[in-house]
Amino acid sequence: MAAANEFDLVVLGSGGAGCAAALAGASMSLSVSLLEKANVLGGGTADSLGTIWIPNNSLAAAAGLADDFATALTYARFVGGGQELPANLEAYVREAPRVLDAMLALGVRLRLALGLPDYFYPAGPGSCADGRRMVEPELIARSALEPWSNSIRRSIHNVPGVAWSDSVGWGGFANRRNWPDAEVAERERRGLLGCGEALIGQLIAPMLSRGASIRVNAQTAGLLLERGRVTGVRIADGSTVRARRGVVLATGGYEGSPELVRQFEGFPEWMNPFAPTNVGDALAFGTEIGASIFRIAINNSLFVGAPVPGQPEAFFSVGLRGLPMPGAIAVNRRGERFCDETQFQDVVMALQQYDRRERRFANLPAFMIFDDLFRERYPVANAPPGRAAHPSIVRSDALSGLAERIGIDANGFLKTVERFNSDAREGRDTVFGRGQSAFSRNNAGDTELKLNPQLAPLEKPPFHALPLKVGGICSAGLLTDPAARVLDAHGRPIRGLYACGNAAAPTFLGVGYQGGSSIGAGIVFGYLATEHAAGRTRIE
């Protein structure tokens, strides 16, 4: 009989990657221990929109929507921009449909998220416009997760019980005021989970029925290494948990570690968009035993956010839920716009521009500027439309006064707003072409604006400003192969050690970012890691 602290597979971290690895292990008749150092489950996945990018999938095929490996690979390579590792990218695109089918067979209830096109549509070769590659979880009731029904990390971003495709079908984030309030309230009353919370729930429910062990408040201190093989983990309380087949690191990135962010990212304005427990455990544990780190040189997998009023450490993503909406712009210290605000990837790339003469980032500090009509019509951070602005939000009845209060050039700012307002009244953006993205219009286009659903002048005082911060999927992580095995400095697998999710370097999609690809890769490589540990791998 196995000892109480001995399992076939030990998984660290309970985000989408860790839960997928643990569920896969339980389905393959492995004894599984899922260890989470926080007191709740879900990690960063629980606070996400919960979508999974799965090209060439069976759900789309059943709906009569054609796709194929070659077309999807063409698109993925375009997104990767030469920064990806070809073998890992190809493994993701090739294996993702099979992993999806395996998850469906295990009882994970997923559906197409139609209406969410590939982010680079129509610019990217091989892209799709209708969402046939985007998969999301069906809603699930907390009551289905006993005894863990109240242990899913609660999202600060998402409306309880509302899926991303629901919001798109109801007009997107910009039309929150027109959502069916009675329906939303009823879903919350019933304890339904949506988006990332639902994805974690959908993975945990079948895991529980298969006998996987889940433990929270389990701070891991390091790995057990015996004769070159990882054989378990050390817990901070001095105990150990042994793993006969392998250990899967799914602890997230280092977004909550100022030191590691400074080493690998270099941003002066950074906020952690994920769980506060994401402080680089995988990097620490892996490098202690000789694991190699890989860093993407150009990182587009970042988010633009602002502090949540009253919760200064909470990151609210305004890249999707603020800047693209009509009546908001982003400006730098010169008071100038510097990008198409509806494309958050354009925003983050612009925020990375460095002025070598001034020895500073060219567009930092930066601010989201909006007027009072914006506050009346659209959500501000996590406040619903029409709620009075939080006292911490800087405001002024005059644009010049707002510029003075936030410390930007008033003359440049007034000229910027004058030109933007003139363009907006004509429904065009002559500077950056704002409002042309199909993806962004689906989420943040106001259906009542006929000329351009993402353009409205800033006219109604008081005017408001939120400081913009950068955060997101980090540039570096443990180097892994297509089977999610962690590699050492010589490129050799460390026996018994796997990494997936943001604990692994984002080698699968390189410079680019595709919605659902991060969670998707976590689930796909989490499954492949377990498959390898179980001796069932198709990848060598």
Q: For residues 448, 466, 512 and 359, what is the CA-based torsion angle, rounded to 10 degrees?
A: 140
pLDDT at 2 over 60: no
Best mean pLDDT range from 268-277, 354-363, 428-437, 486-495: 486-495
Per the listing, tokens 């026996």 go with 495
Q: Which tops the pLDDT comparison, 123 or 338?
A: 338
User: What is the phi/psi pair of residue 299, to 5°?
Assistant: -105, 110
Average of per-residue pLDDT across 227-231 = 97
Average of per-residue pLDDT across 191-203 = 98
Average of per-residue pLDDT across 41-54 = 96
CA distances from 17 to 180, 212, 231 (A): 33, 15, 20
pLDDT at 1 over 50: no
Average of per-residue pLDDT across 20-37 = 98
Q: If you write DSSP's letter for every residue of 246-258 in order, what string do you get?
A: EEEE----STT-H
What distance lies between CA 537 and its chain's CA centroid? 28
pLDDT at 538 over 80: no
Confidence label for 40 from pLDDT (cuts 50, 70 and 90): very high
Report residue 212 as tokens.
């996987």
Peptide bond into 312 cis (omega under 30): no
The pLDDT value recorded for residue 3 is 63
List the domain boundaries for the chain: 6-219+474-533, 304-471
304-471: what fold? Answer: Flavocytochrome C3; Chain A, domain 1 (3.90.700)
Write the pLDDT tens digit of every residue in 54-78: 999 999 999 999 999 999 999 999 9
Confidence label for 160 from pLDDT (cuts 50, 70 and 90): very high
Average of per-residue pLDDT across 427-438 = 92
In this prediction, what percent of the chain has a pLDDT beyond 90?
A: 84
Task: Give Rg (Cα) of the chain.
Answer: 23
SS3 for 211? coil
Q: Which tops the pLDDT comparison, 379 or 157?
A: 379
- Asked whether this chain's domains 6-219+474-533 and 304-471 adopt the same fold, the reply is no
Q: If you write DSSP's letter for every residue of 14-57 in order, what string do you get?
A: -SHHHHHHHHHHHHTT--EEEE-SSSSB-GGGGGS---EE-TT-
Question: Residues near 73 by Cβ (< 8 Å), separated by ≥ 6?
Answer: 89, 90, 93, 126
Q: Which CATH architecture has domain 6-219+474-533?
A: 3-Layer(bba) Sandwich (3.50)
Rounded distance between C-alpha atoms, residue 26 and residue 209, angstroms: 9
Rounded distance between C-alpha atoms, residue 307 and residue 328, angstroms: 17
Peptide bond into 462 cis (omega under 30): yes
Rounded distance between C-alpha atoms, residue 220 and residue 238, angstroms: 10
Rounded distance between C-alpha atoms, residue 312 and residue 364, angstroms: 19
The pLDDT value recorded for residue 540 is 62
SS3 for 13? coil
253: left (phi over 0), alpha (psi -120 to 50) or beta: beta
Rounded distance between C-alpha atoms, residue 251 and residue 234, angstroms: 15
8 Å CB contact between 60 and 43: no
Average model confidence (pLDDT) across the chain: 94
